[in-house]
Amino acid sequence: MPANSDITIYKQIYPIQCPTLVQLGYCSVINIRPDGECETQPSSDELATAAEQTNLAYVYLPYDCDRLSRQTIEAFAKHYHALPKPIMLFCGTGNRAKLLYQSALMQGLL
């Protein structure tokens, strides 16, 4: 679900998808899904390695729905402004990613 031309909000991505993301024009990935939420999810380390191998900038900023703090929102906004665009922002289903993006937008940080 595209939010704007600089960022796409999506569900879980996998290391094997990193080359495709590059082909689609993405420059950065922000992973907000905490490691170990389900057995089939790749670890942040696996995603970081795949991103590095394909020259994608990678940020790991995990949070769960009950712990969205002002600090997390500000950290996301800082990464959003600093990373090369476009950015793929993802979590398990995309819902947390959407909440994080909207929270930063509503607080005037983006």
CA nearest to 105, candidates 83, 86, 77, 82: 77
Handedness of CA 65, 66, 67, 69 (dihedral sign): positive
pLDDT tier at 72, thresholds 50, 70, 90: very high
CA nearest to 54, candidates 94, 32, 24, 33: 24
The pair of structure tokens assigned to 48 is 């970081």
- The pTM assigned to this predicted structure is 0.93
The pair of structure tokens assigned to 11 is 């569900």
How high is the pLDDT of residue 1?
39
Strands 7-10 and 2-4 turn out to be: antiparallel
Q: Please count the structural domains in the chain.
A: 1
- What residue numbers bound the domain in which 9 lies? 2-106
Residue 65 sits in a domain whose CATH number is: 3.90.190.10
pLDDT tier at 39, thresholds 50, 70, 90: very high
